[in-house]
Amino acid sequence: MAVRTDFCGPQPVSGELQLGLLSRQRVRLVRQTELAECGLASLAMVANFHGMDVDLGTLRRRFRPSLRGAALKSLIATADQMGLTPRAVKLPLDQLRNLNLPAVLHWDMNHYVVLETVRGEKALVHNPDGRSQWLRLSEVSNHFTGVALELRPAADFEAERKRERLKLSQLWRRMTGLKRALVQTLVLSIVLQAFILTSPYYMQVAVDSALPALDRDLMTVLALGFGLFTFINAGAALLRSFVLLSAGTSLGYGIATNLARRLFRLPVAWFEKRHVGDVLSRFQSIGPIRQFLTEGAVGSVLDGSLAVFTLAIMLFYSIPLTLIALVAFAAYAVVRLISFSAQRAAQEDVIMASGKEQSVMIESLRGIVTLRLFSRESARHAFWQTRLTDSMNAQVNLARIGAWQNAANTLILGLETIFSIWFAIRLVIAGGFSIGMVFAFIAYKTQFLQKAASLIDQSIAFRMLGLHLERLADIALSDQDVSFTNPAPTAARTLAGAIELRNISFRYSPTDPLVLKGADLVVDPGDHIAITGASGGGKSTLIKIMLGILEPDSGEVLVDGNPLGEFGHKQFHEQVGAVLQDDSLFSGTLADNIALFDDAPDMPAIIEAATVSALHGDIAMMPMGYDTLVGDMGSTLSGGQKQRLLLARALYRKPKILIMDEGTAHLDMACEQAINEMIAKMGITRIVVAHRLETIISAKKVFVIEKGQLVDITKSLTDIRGKISTL
């Protein structure tokens, strides 16, 4: 890591900084979404502090982060392009307060955080992978590496809004029936509200008219009338519940399918940069959105209208008593607004912590064999417990905020009830109020406070949707894979089997070194070529570019002489078979996995593909044959059987080109040779990446990757082939 060796000498704290020390927190925490974008998230926090309203997604699309992390040099280059003047410094811990804050600190040798301020022996640190917290300087010393990055706005810094937000309307686009369901819910709710408004009047008439006159007939008529109204109200409540259930189910299903469709169309690199648990936790944000749209939105309209009508009735009864209720309502609203920021931050902590806990559990279950062999079950369990503790602590923190809110609400409403009854009875004693009116007013006042408080709660819930929309935006607003964005060719094209790479260069981010540097390759139809080279030299990356999974930084991929984009990614993929190192099997039968759950599987083609891949004999010996269950991720198969099953899946579609990245590494020489002979009879183009000499020399042409370029070494292997053939 390249850093400047400037040390911060003793500097006076500026007046602006002194005021900043006394002010409230002004740096808004930006949490990283990808595994290695803490540096970009830290820059986003500092940019927001200086007035550039930008979100992490916008920065990610502009500055492509590397999965391998960001060195300080690349962070400086990114900050400069954002209009910030960077200055990297080395400094001792006791000089942190003299930095131009907020500043980015190098943390734990592999992470970046933002330091906002230092007060006494504590520092306010914003961790993109955690939360904002005050740490003692002794704790900071355990993490801080001594390297910091000061960032000041340059002359060309633009303090403007550069944030792309996800709108609610984008989630239910092209869904039908939602408006009709909401209208039905609104009509039925009006019937319910009418019952609520008239119920207190029943109490007033009974107490003030029927009771003093001992009029049994009047009480009977009132009971029958309001009893009939109660039946109507119960029916309306039942119908509304069914409508909300139907609308909520349809809306939740529609949003989930729309979002999942978008998710399945995202580039492969998007998934490589995120934890599975985090992606799954984002889908859980659909629940609060669905609930608010089907219940909260209608409830807000009705609660607001009912509160207004009830308030008008209360004013008719008594203005002073109504003012007491209004003061209580205002106090409740102030409590909720003051605690909103803490509640939102706590809710975000719960979501993030739960996602991390799920990720650790999923990874542990996937790697249980490794844990068993290395006897690391206890250590992994302890690590998961740590994540679970973080999740539980976050939930406790959120529940604690809710407890304070409930306590404040109970106190406010309790004092309001005591004072209202005291004042109302004084009005009765003074002769301006009747006992029935007291009962009625108390009922109306209770309804008003309930509905008004519900309106505040729904408003808070609506503001809380911003948190869930921000999480869903990472899926909904991310660019789709190029195979979906490029227009499909109007005419179907049949692949002949030729591929050409022209001057291909690739790097994982603009600040990373080039993995491929001007690589060229010509593959004619029917060729059998092998690509080898040192591990980490770019062979798998080259294969993914050849398949159209990754886009090169420069150069182009030609298919049958046409650029891949013009030929059509989808058409190309449908005529290519591939076996990659990270290929996966799915829960189901062997036949399901070979046909990849084809709607109309061709059983003869399945058997033929299994025969060519030398797997048919193994399957024939299994009691269930092709209906044998694969198990989770192929847990019931050996390594060689998995590879042959993956090869059979690639051959099932009768490809014109077969590309394998270490696709036969687990096979014995005799089995591999038999497979090669059968595939050779198919006359298709074969491109293999391998390290084994036997696999390499079986190819007609051999290339090695050296310094990012492809070098033809076919001639140098001629002698090797000759010697092996004589053995």
Q: Annotated catalytic sites, by residue?
A: 38
Q: How many CB atoms lie within 10 A of CB 496?
A: 15
The H or E element containing residue 601 is none
HEC states along 497-550? CCEEEEEEEECCCCCCCCCEEEEEEEECCCCEEEEEECCCCCHHHHHHHHHCCC
Q: Residue 212 to residues 206, 367, 436, 492, 571: CA-CA distances in angstroms?
A: 9, 79, 11, 90, 88
Q: State both tokens at 158.
A: 């633009």
User: How deeply is 57 buried, as exposed, middle or buried, from its count of CB atoms within 10 A (0-12, 13-18, 19+)?
Assistant: buried
The H or E element containing residue 61 is helix 56-62
**CA 645/CA 635 separation, integer angstroms:** 13
Q: What is the CA radius of gyration of the chain?
A: 34
DSSP string, 355-414: HHHHHHHHHHHHTHHHHHHTT-HHHHHHHHHHHHHHHHHHHHHHHHHHHHHHHHHHHHHH
**435-476 helix and 377-430 helix, angle to the nearest 10 degrees:** 150
Cα–Cα–Cα angle for 102, 104, 110, nearest 5°?
160
Q: Output the CA torsion 437→441→442→448 (10° steps).
A: 170
The set of residues, in sequence order, having a beta carbon less than 8 Å from that of 489 and lying 6+ positions away, is 566, 567, 568, 571
Q: Give the residue among 546, 506, 499 at the shortest CA–CA distance from 685.
A: 499
Q: Are 631 and 587 in contact (CB under 8 A)?
A: yes
